Structure formats: structure tokens, C-alpha cells
């Protein structure tokens, strides 16, 4: 029996594999990647490497075995048919007879188009007969803290979220929840709504940036249309920009406030505060 992590070279996947290595022997972990070369360090630590691509169904032949626990990390290319990509993994897992497939989804309250692929994948998974766990992750701190350069340059946080609040947490927090499910028991056919302990507004985010940098950084609220134009001007394709601007509209409607407490309960600790993520990003 292995614990298999797809998308293991991605940001979240790296956190999951790293935390799994602290809990189980390396030979019990399989990292599914598109590039074995980029996973050479994991192989060097004893992790089994499997090369497979969501867009190439036959590449998943032999990746899974009966009794495996699988983490399907959702595809990040929002301009692709992600339900079809995920179905490839789910069908391969079903054929192999895995014991559990956990999927990184989106909050059940999210109505933005970004959630469409997640809802579609959840439907496929529920209908597959594979024991599943839905890890409905809210937004990541790093969505904001990894892109601070333009914010600091223009001294402005620009968003179309109005006064909406976000229950974000760090990638490490969400990874810890996934690891708890993959190494624990009793998570079959469960849904967890995961988010940070403290929701924050963009005005509060700007204020915290101001406090930590000593610069006056303002929150500039814009319309969804204006934000879409800003994102396309920064180089994002129009349809992709519209998807991300749509998330801001959902935030304005309160759809990324997650107050279930599931994340801190699964991990057994409080979630990482946004202020801490900002401090780490500024030091980096």
C-alpha cells in the first residue's frame, strides 16, 4: 500500500510530500509528476516517482494499486477541461481498487466559475464508487503574498472584493489537513470545508502591509470589469483574467468565508495567521 500524491511537483504537492516524509517511510510514498527530473530530490530521499499527465490517460496505467490512498490535487490550468483531467485519475484509481481518493476542491459556498470544475469533479468522484474525501480548500495566503512586488511598487492593494472577507490559510496548513486524512482513519465519504481561523478584509490586508513595511499602502476597490482589464494588461489571457476577477466578486458576496473550524481540527493546531505569511514573504 502506498500513499500517492498527484501534482507532487506543484506548490501544494511539495508541501504534502514533505510533511508525509515526517510521518511515514519514504518507500510508502509515490509522487506523481510530469517531470521526473524536477522530482530528483524526492527520489533521492527514497520517494517512488511515477511520471504521468492528467491529459494523457494511458500514462496512469500502473500508477495506482489496490489499497492505495490517493491525493488528487486539482489541475491549475483553468483554461483546460479540468473535469476531464480529473476523471482520468479517478477512473485509474477506481480500476486499481484504491482504498481512498482525497480531492482538493473549493468551498461549497463558492459560486464563481472557478468552482465549476470542482463541482463537476465532485460529481464524477461520488459516482465512481471510490471511497472519497473532499478537501474543500478556501483561498491560499500565497495567492497574495507571493505577488507583493506590484503592491509595494504602487503602494496599493487592488481588488474587486468590496468589503468581503477571506478565510485564507497557508499551503502548509492545507497540506497538513491532507496528510491527516491520508495517514488517518475514518475519513471515507466525508467532506471538509477548510479555511483559516480568522477571516480578513482587503482593507485589513493593506493595513497589515502598511504596518510591516512602514509604507502607506491603501486598498483600492475596483469593479470586476476594471480588475479584468488590469489582469489582462498584466499579461493574463482574457478568459483566465475573468475567472480570477470572478473570485473577487464571490469574495464580495461572502463566499470565501469558511467558519467550520475543520482545518484546525484536522491539523490539531491553529491555522497560520495572514500577518505571519506577510512577514515571511517580505523577508524572502
Mind listing the pLDDT tens digit for each residue in 56-65? 999 999 999 9
Superfamily classification of domain 3-138+170-194+259-271: NAD(P)-binding Rossmann-like Domain (3.40.50.720)
Q: How confident is the model at residue 85 (pLDDT cuts 50, 70, 90)?
A: very high
- How many helices (H) and strands (E) in the chain? 12, 11
Phi, psi of 49, deg, nearest 5: -110, 130
Do residues 8 and 16 touch, judged by C-beta distance below 8 A? yes
CA 225 to chain centre: 25
Q: Parse the chain into domains and list their residue ranges.
A: 3-138+170-194+259-271
Cell of 239: 478568459
Q: How far apart are CA 160 and CA 139, in angstroms?
A: 15
Q: Is the dihedral of CA 203, 254, 261, 111 positive or negative?
A: negative
Q: How far is CA 78 from CA 10, 26, 129, 219, in A?
A: 15, 32, 26, 27
- Average confidence (pLDDT) over 153-161: 97
What's the confidence (pLDDT) of residue 123?
Answer: 98
Residue 79 has pLDDT above 80, yes or no: no
What's the confidence (pLDDT) of residue 137?
Answer: 98
Q: How far apart are CA 152 and CA 1, in angstroms?
A: 48
Q: How far is CA 159 from CA 49, 72, 202, 245, in A?
A: 40, 30, 8, 8
Residue 98 has pLDDT above 80, yes or no: yes
What's the confidence (pLDDT) of residue 1?
Answer: 80
Q: How confident is the model at residue 176 (pLDDT cuts 50, 70, 90)?
A: very high
Percent residues over pLDDT 90 in the chain: 95
Mind listing the pLDDT tens digit for each residue in 232-271? 998 989 988 999 999 999 999 999 999 999 999 999 999 9
Do residues 275 and 207 touch, judged by C-beta distance below 8 A? no
Residue 215 has pLDDT above 80, yes or no: yes
Mind listing the pLDDT tens digit for each residue in 39-53? 999 999 999 999 999
Q: How confident is the model at residue 284 (pLDDT cuts 50, 70, 90)?
A: confident
Rounded to the nearest integer, the mean pLDDT of the chain is 96
Q: How confident is the model at residue 76 (pLDDT cuts 50, 70, 90)?
A: confident
Q: How confident is the model at residue 220 (pLDDT cuts 50, 70, 90)?
A: very high
Three-state DSSP class for residue 59: helix
Do residues 159 and 227 touch, judged by C-beta distance below 8 A? yes
What's the confidence (pLDDT) of residue 80?
Answer: 85
Do residues 221 and 159 touch, judged by C-beta distance below 8 A? yes
Q: How far apart are CA 97 and CA 99, in angstroms?
A: 7
What's the confidence (pLDDT) of residue 209?
Answer: 98
Q: How far apart are the first and last CA of the chain?
A: 38
Mind listing the pLDDT tens digit for each residue in 101-144? 999 999 999 999 999 999 999 999 999 999 999 999 999 999 99
Q: How far apart are CA 169 and CA 199, in angstroms?
A: 9
Cβ burial of 141 (10 Å; 0-12, 13-18, 19+) is: buried
Q: How far apart are CA 34 and CA 55, in angstroms?
A: 10
CA 126 to chain centre: 20
Do residues 31 and 50 touch, judged by C-beta distance below 8 A? yes
Residue 78 has pLDDT above 80, yes or no: no
Report the candidate in 182, 172, 223, 135 with the shortest Cα–Cα distance to residue 4. 182
Residue 77 has pLDDT above 80, yes or no: yes
Amino acid at each position: 500500500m502506498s500513499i500517492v500524491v498527484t501534482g507532487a511537483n506543484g506548490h501544494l504537492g511539495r508541501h504534502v510530500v514533505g510533511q508525509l516524509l515526517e510521518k511515514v517511510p519514504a518507500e510508502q510514498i509515490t509522487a506523481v509528476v510530469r517531470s521526473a527530473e524536477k522530482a530528483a530530490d524526492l527520489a533521492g530521499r527514497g520517494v517512488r516517482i511515477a511520471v504521468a499527465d492528467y491529459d494523457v490517460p494511458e500514462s496512469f496505467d500502473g500508477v495506482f494499486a489496490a489499497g492505495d490512498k490517493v491525493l488528487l490535487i486539482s489541475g491549475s490550468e483553468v483554461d483546460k477541461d479540468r473535469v476531464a483531467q480529473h476523471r482520468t485519475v479517478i477512473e485509474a484509481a477506481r480500476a486499481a481498487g484504491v482504498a481512498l481518493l482525497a480531492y482538493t476542491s473549493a468551498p461549497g459556498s463558492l459560486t464563481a466559475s472557478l468552482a465549476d470544475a470542482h463541482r463537476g469533479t465532485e460529481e464524477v468522484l461520488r459516482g465512481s464508487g471510490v471511497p472519497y474525501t473532499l478537501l474543500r480548500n478556501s483561498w491560499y495566503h500565497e495567492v497574495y503574498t507571493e505577488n507583493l512586488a506590484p503592491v509595494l511598487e504602487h503602494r496599493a492593494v487592488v481588488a474587486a472584493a468590496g468589503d468581503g472577507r477571506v478565510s485564507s490559510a497557508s499551503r502548509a496548513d492545507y497540506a497538513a489537513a491532507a496528510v491527516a486524512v491520508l495517514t488517518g482513519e475514518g475519513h471515507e465519504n466525508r467532506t471538509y470545508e477548510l479555511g483559516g481561523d480568522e477571516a480578513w478584509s482587503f482593507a485589513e490586508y493593506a493595513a497589515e502591509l502598511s504596518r510591516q513595511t512602514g509604507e502607506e499602502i491603501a486598498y483600492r476597490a475596483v469593479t470586476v470589469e476594471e480588475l479584468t482589464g488590469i489582469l489582462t494588461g498584466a499579461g493574463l489571457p482574457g478568459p483566465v483574467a475573468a475567472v480570477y476577477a470572478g473570485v473577487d466578486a464571490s469574495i464580495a458576496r461572502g463566499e470565501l468565508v469558511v467558519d467550520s473550524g475543520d482545518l484546525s481540527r484536522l491539523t490539531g493546531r491553529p491555522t497560520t495567521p495572514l500577518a505571519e505569511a506577510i512577514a515571511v514573504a517580505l523577508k524572502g
